[in-house]
Amino acid sequence: MGKYIKPKRPTVATKRIVDNRQLTVGEGDTGYNVSLYGIMGKTQNLPTISPKLKRIAELAKSDSKLQFISIAHLLNVALLRESFRRLRKDAASGVSGTTANDYAKNLEENLIDLHNRLRTQRYKAPPVKRVWIEKDDGKERPLGIPEIEDKIVQKAVTILLEPIYGNDFYPFSHGFITGHSQHLAIKEVREQLYANQINWIIDADIEGFFNNIDHKILREFIQRRIKDGGILRLIGKWLKAGVMENRKLSYPKKGTPQGGVISPLLANIFLHYVLDEWFVEMILPRLKGRVFISRFADDFIIGFELEEDAHRVMEVLPKRFNRFGLTIHPKKTRLVDFRKPSYKITATKGAGTFDFLGFTHYWGKSRKGYWIIKRKTSAKKLRQKITSIWEWCKHNRHITVKEQHAMLNLKLTGHYQYYGVRSNYRSLQLYYEAVRKAWKRWLGRRSRDGFISYEKFNKFLVHYPLAKPRIVHEF
């Protein structure tokens, strides 16, 4: 039987309650004085919410079958104000062009009016502005930009639902969940590979996930926990909201807009039932060897001790996703032989590797000659980053040197903050050298000669030094 390693919370199988209870949360919310994530651990400087929201979280934790039928009344002005506080104020504006700063000029009046429309069911979800951003493979993916009021309400509903689903989600689900992060997922993957003697990896890819979420199925999943008509109507309005692109309005029948504040939570709910719960309850008991799964939003891998188990899951995985209107990409999804190389041979370049969250995982030799699991920036991500920095230097070559220097250092330190893990120094160095090269090239285009010599550029870097590569995460 497969072994489920180190759950941080009780799994669904161990906390299931047979009866299908429903909960009505009483009226009379009177203000915020309890940390939203207080039941999940101590966190500094988090906003506070009402005792009733804490009670919701406690009940959700105690009973995985309990349904909530009256929580929409907690969408009061105080919660809307807190929701606005948490939003990014520099984010792009929606169709109307109203920014967060515009909305803040008469914040209290706007929030009171918004609350009244929510309370009397007069709130309408406006169309979402669609823009396109480039993907790693050169293709583009759509990004939805809601109106500022839509963001406020979506964030408020997310605040209400997170304490419920935060207790349902498995500890191996790391995407957009409080207390989780990409670095935690990367760290745990390496630990699980060692702890379970993993030899085979399913490196999976869901084709167009956010654009293909079935609305009907999503509503059915949500209603397993939420029976509140007010909350369900709001989610329905967001799913049905039109998309404005090039002044043309359309109404997609599937998907949630990437960029919507509530979209990550909806995506996690969908995959919790399609993948996570199915894997733990239906697949895990049928496996013979040790296994682990790690997921960040729609990006996931599954590791197996035994090749037999890996092939069995590889066969049923596409069928499971097809049942819910999703497709496992046949070319991008692969079974990786990740067995530890023999001490007598050298690992073949490009073989036995897999990518997860921007890192290529591979076997390499330690300084003492032992085989260890290493991580490096994936070739695709590194190419993308280098291309991006080249284009930035090209398009911003006419701004002041001081501004260029400050922004390039921000980009470098941000890169090190994410990719600065042990064994990845060489990739950091390659990125650093690419930044130097790009800056030298496009600064030179500003001069009369059209170039800068290396000697002159090195003297220039004494006064405008670039942040050197460094390892930030020791795991």
Mean pLDDT of the chain: 87
The better pLDDT of the pair 269, 14 is held by 269
pLDDT of residue 135: 66
Please determine, for residue 41, whether its predicted confidence score (pLDDT) is greater than 70: no
pLDDT band for position 35 (cuts 50, 70, 90): very low
pLDDT, mean of residues 332-345: 84
pLDDT of residue 1: 47
pLDDT band for position 54 (cuts 50, 70, 90): confident
pLDDT of residue 231: 97
pLDDT, mean of residues 291-310: 97
Residue 27 C-beta-side C-alpha neighbours within 13 Å? 0
Please determine, for residue 388, whether its predicted confidence score (pLDDT) is greater than 80: yes
- Which pLDDT tens digit goes with each residue over 448-475? 788 899 999 999 999 999 999 999 999 9
Look-up: residue for tokens 């807009």?
A: 257
pLDDT band for position 19 (cuts 50, 70, 90): very low
Pairing outcome for strands 248-250 and 243-245: antiparallel
The better pLDDT of the pair 191, 167 is held by 191
pLDDT, mean of residues 199-211: 95
CA distance 465 to 269: 46
pLDDT cut 70: percent of the chain above it: 86
